Amino acid sequence: MFKFPARLVGAAVALTLAAATPVLAQQLELKLMAPAAPGGGWDQTARSMQQALVAAGVARSVQVTNVPGAGGSVGIAQFVNGAKGDGNQLMVNGFVMVGALAMNKSPVTLEQVTPIARLTEEIQVIVVPANSPIKTAQDLAAAVKADIAKVTFAGGSAGGVDHVMAALFAGAVGADAKKINYIPFSGGGESLAAILGGKVTAGISGMSEYEGQIKSGKLRAIGVTSEKRIAGSDIPTFKEQGIDLVIANWRSVVAPPGITPEQRKTLSDAVEKMVKSDAWKEILKQKGWEDAYLGGDAFADFLKKETVRVTDVLKSVGLVKS
Amino acid sequence: MMDTFAALAHGMAVAVQPMNLLYALIGVFLGTAVGVLPGIGPALTVALLLPVTYKLDPGGSLIMFAGIYYGGMYGGSTTAILINTPGESASMATALEGNKMAKAGRGGPALATSAIGSFVAGTIATIGLAFLAPWLVDFAVRFGPEDYFALMCVAFVTVSATFGDSPIRGLTSLFIGLTLGLVGIDKLTGQARLAFGVPELLDGVEVTTLAVGLFAVGEALYVASRRHHTEEKLEPVRGSLWMTKEDWKRSWKPWLRGTMFGFPIGALPAGGAEIPTFLSYSTEKRLTKYPEEFGKGAIEGVAGPEAANNASAAGTLVPLLTLGLPTSATAAMMLAGFQQYGLNPGPLLFAERPDLVWGLIASLFIANCMLLVLNLPLVGLWVRLLAIPQPWLYAGILVFATMGTIAAKPSVVELSMLAGFGVLGFLMRRFDFPIAPVVVGLILGPIAESQLRRALAISLGDPMTLLQSPISATLLGIALVALLAPFVLKGMGRFKANED
Residue A268 belongs to a domain with what CATH number? 3.40.190.150
pTM over 0.80, yes/no: no
* Residue A8: count of CB within 10 angstroms of its CB: 11
- The backbone torsions φ and ψ at residue B415, rounded to the nearest 5 degrees and listed phi first, read -65, -40
Residues in chain A: 322
Residue A213 belongs to a domain with what CATH number? 3.40.190.10
Q: Among residues B195, B218, B179, B177, which one has the least CA distance to residue B85?
A: B218
Within an 8 Å CB–CB cutoff, is residue B33 touching chain A? yes
Within an 8 Å CB–CB cutoff, is residue A315 touching chain B? no
B390-408 and B412-430 helices, crossing angle to 10°: 140
Does A37 map to a domain? yes
The band of B338, judged by pLDDT with boundaries at 50, 70 and 90, is: confident
pLDDT of res. B36: 73
Q: Among residues B81, B92, B38, B32, which one has the least CA distance to residue B386?
A: B81
Cα–Cα distance for residue pair B141/B138, rounded to 1 Å: 5
Mode of pairing for the β-strands spanning A290-295 and A114-129: antiparallel
Whether residue A214 sits in one domain with residue A112: no
Cα–Cα distance for residue pair A297/A307, rounded to 1 Å: 15
Put simply, the answer to whether B410 touches A7 (Cβ < 8 Å) is: yes
Model pLDDT for residues B159-185, shown as the tens digit of each residue: 776 666 777 888 888 899 999 999 988
Closest residue to A213, CB basis, from B336, B346, B411: B346
Whether residue A76 sits in one domain with residue A107: yes
Put simply, the answer to whether A194 touches B199 (Cβ < 8 Å) is: no
Cα–Cα distance for residue pair B411/B291, rounded to 1 Å: 43
A9 contact residues in B (CB cutoff 8 A): 48
A67 contact residues in B (CB cutoff 8 A): 410-411
Within an 8 Å CB–CB cutoff, is residue A133 touching chain B? no
Cα–Cα distance for residue pair B207/B41, rounded to 1 Å: 12
Contact B183, B198 (CB under 8 A): no
Cα–Cα distance for residue pair A220/A213, rounded to 1 Å: 8
**Exposure string for A49-77, b = 16+ CB within 10 A, e = fewer:** bbbbbbbbbbbbbbbbbbbbbbbbbbbbb
The residues pairing with A290 across neighbouring beta strands, listed in sequence order, are A121
> Number of Cβ pairs closer than 8 Å across A and B?
172
End-of-domain residue from the set A207, A241, A275:
A241
Q: Residue B480 pLDDT > 80, yes or no?
A: yes
Within an 8 Å CB–CB cutoff, is residue A155 touching chain B? no
What single-letter amino acid sits at B83? I
Cα–Cα distance for residue pair A70/A158, rounded to 1 Å: 12
Distances B184 to A94, B23, B43, B172, B399 between C-alpha atoms, Å: 22, 40, 22, 21, 28
Closest residue to A39, CB basis, from B141, B143, B332: B332
pLDDT of res. B253: 92
Model pLDDT for residues B75-92, shown as the tens digit of each residue: 778 888 888 877 677 888
ipTM over 0.90: no
DSSP structure string for A232-274: T--PPBTGGGT-----EEEEEEEE-TT--HHHHHHHHHHHHHH
Model pLDDT for residues B124-154, shown as the tens digit of each residue: 998 888 888 777 777 777 788 888 898 888 8
Put simply, the answer to whether B141 touches A196 (Cβ < 8 Å) is: yes
Q: Residue B53 pLDDT > 90, yes or no?
A: no
Put simply, the answer to whether B187 touches A286 (Cβ < 8 Å) is: no
Does A108 map to a domain? yes
Cα–Cα distance for residue pair A254/B448, rounded to 1 Å: 39
- The backbone torsions φ and ψ at residue B325, rounded to the nearest 5 degrees and listed phi first, read -100, 105
Within an 8 Å CB–CB cutoff, is residue B143 touching chain A? yes
pLDDT of res. B180: 94
Within an 8 Å CB–CB cutoff, is residue A3 touching chain B? yes
Contact A84, A52 (CB under 8 A): no
Cα–Cα distance for residue pair B56/B42, rounded to 1 Å: 19
Closest Cα in chain A, distance from residue B384 (Å): 13
pLDDT of res. A13: 45
Model pLDDT for residues B227-270, shown as the tens digit of each residue: 776 555 566 666 677 788 888 899 999 999 999 999 988 888 77
Whether residue A185 sits in one domain with residue A108: no
Q: Which residues of chain A have pLDDT under 50?
A: 1-25
Q: Among residues A71, A76, A163, A87, which one has the least CA distance to residue A111?
A: A76
Model pLDDT for residues B298-311, shown as the tens digit of each residue: 899 999 999 998 89
Does A171 map to a domain? yes
Q: Among residues B406, B359, B371, B380, which one has the least CA distance to residue B7?
A: B359
B191 contact residues in A (CB cutoff 8 A): 103, 319
Q: Residue B186 pLDDT > 70, yes or no?
A: yes
The band of B415, judged by pLDDT with boundaries at 50, 70 and 90, is: very high
Q: Among residues A114, A32, A109, A95, which one has the least CA distance to residue A67?
A: A32
Whether residue A127 sits in one domain with residue A111: no
Cα–Cα distance for residue pair B73/B329, rounded to 1 Å: 13
Whether residue A161 sits in one domain with residue A306: no
Does A299 map to a domain? yes
- Give the end-to-end CA distance of chain B in Å, rounded to a whole number: 59
Cα–Cα distance for residue pair B326/A193, rounded to 1 Å: 11
Whether residue A211 sits in one domain with residue A186: yes
Please classify residue A131 by burial: count the beta carbons closer than 10 Å to its beta carbon, then call 0-12 exposed, 13-18 middle and 19+ buried. exposed
Segment (H or E) for B498: helix B470-499
Of the ranges B229-233, B342-346, B466-470, the best mean pLDDT one: B466-470
Cα–Cα distance for residue pair B318/B123, rounded to 1 Å: 14
Does A1 map to a domain? no
Q: Residue B422 pLDDT > 90, yes or no?
A: yes
The band of B347, judged by pLDDT with boundaries at 50, 70 and 90, is: low
Instruction: Tell me the pLDDT of chain B averaged across its residues.
Output: 81
- Give the SS3 label for residue B186: coil
What single-letter amino acid sits at A40? G
Q: Among residues A265, A143, A149, A162, which one has the least CA distance to residue A206?
A: A162
pLDDT of res. A25: 44
Closest residue to A159, CB basis, from B51, B145, B190: B190
End-of-domain residue from the set A192, A224, A241:
A241
Contact B282, B53 (CB under 8 A): no
Whether residue A81 sits in one domain with residue A43: yes
Which sign does the torsion angle of CA A38, B191, B183, A154 carry? Answer: negative
* Residue B356: count of CB within 10 angstroms of its CB: 22
**What count of Cα atoms within 13 Å lies in the side-chain half-sphere of residue B120?**
23
Least confident interval from B52-56, B444-448, B471-475: B52-56
Within an 8 Å CB–CB cutoff, is residue B183 touching chain A? no
Q: Give the ranges where A39-198 is alpha helix by DSSP (H).
A: 41-55, 73-82, 95-103, 137-146, 161-172, 187-196
Cα–Cα distance for residue pair B47/B351, rounded to 1 Å: 27
Cα–Cα distance for residue pair B478/B455, rounded to 1 Å: 20
The parent domain of residue A42 ranges over: 6-121+249-316
- Give the SS3 label for residue B13: helix
DSSP structure string for B415-480: HHHHHHHHHHHHHHHHTT--SHHHHHHHHHHHHHHHHHHHHHHHTTT-TTHHHHSHHHHHHHHHHH
* Residue A11: count of CB within 10 angstroms of its CB: 16
Q: Give the ranges where A20-136 is alpha helix by DSSP (H).
A: 41-55, 73-82, 95-103
Whether residue A129 sits in one domain with residue A111: no
Q: Among residues B3, B299, B280, B242, which one has the least CA distance to residue B121?
A: B280
Within an 8 Å CB–CB cutoff, is residue B384 touching chain A? no
pLDDT of res. A223: 94
- The backbone torsions φ and ψ at residue B189, rounded to the nearest 5 degrees and listed phi first, read -115, -10
Put simply, the answer to whether B202 touches A73 (Cβ < 8 Å) is: yes
pLDDT of res. A20: 43
Q: Residue B466 pLDDT > 60, yes or no?
A: yes
Contact B59, B14 (CB under 8 A): yes
pLDDT of res. B255: 93
What single-letter amino acid sits at B272? G
Percent of chain B at pLDDT exceeding 70: 86
* Residue B227: count of CB within 10 angstroms of its CB: 13
Put simply, the answer to whether B199 touches A104 (Cβ < 8 Å) is: yes
Whether residue A282 sits in one domain with residue A144: no
Whether residue A219 sits in one domain with residue A129: yes
Closest Cα in chain A, distance from residue B393 (Å): 15
pLDDT of res. B234: 60
Does A321 map to a domain? no
Put simply, the answer to whether A193 touches B43 (Cβ < 8 Å) is: no
pLDDT of res. B342: 66
- Residues B356-371: what's their mean pLDDT? 82
Closest residue to B457, CB basis, from A43, A183, A192: A183
Cα–Cα distance for residue pair B5/B2, rounded to 1 Å: 5
Q: Residue B31 pLDDT > 70, yes or no?
A: yes
* Number of domains composing chain A: 2
Cα–Cα distance for residue pair B116/B122, rounded to 1 Å: 10
Cα–Cα distance for residue pair A85/A259, rounded to 1 Å: 4
Model pLDDT for residues A139-187, shown as the tens digit of each residue: 999 999 999 989 999 988 888 889 899 999 998 999 888 889 999 887 6
Does A290 map to a domain? yes
End-of-domain residue from the set A241, A271, A287:
A241
Q: Could you tell me the maximum CA-CA distance found in chain A, to the nearest angstrom? A: 66
B329-340 and B300-323 helices, crossing angle to 10°: 30
Put simply, the answer to whether A288 touches B43 (Cβ < 8 Å) is: no
Contact A165, A122 (CB under 8 A): no
Mode of pairing for the β-strands spanning A202-206 and A114-129: antiparallel
pLDDT of res. B167: 76
Does A322 map to a domain? no
Whether residue A158 sits in one domain with residue A102: no
pLDDT of res. A8: 44
Whether residue A178 sits in one domain with residue A33: no
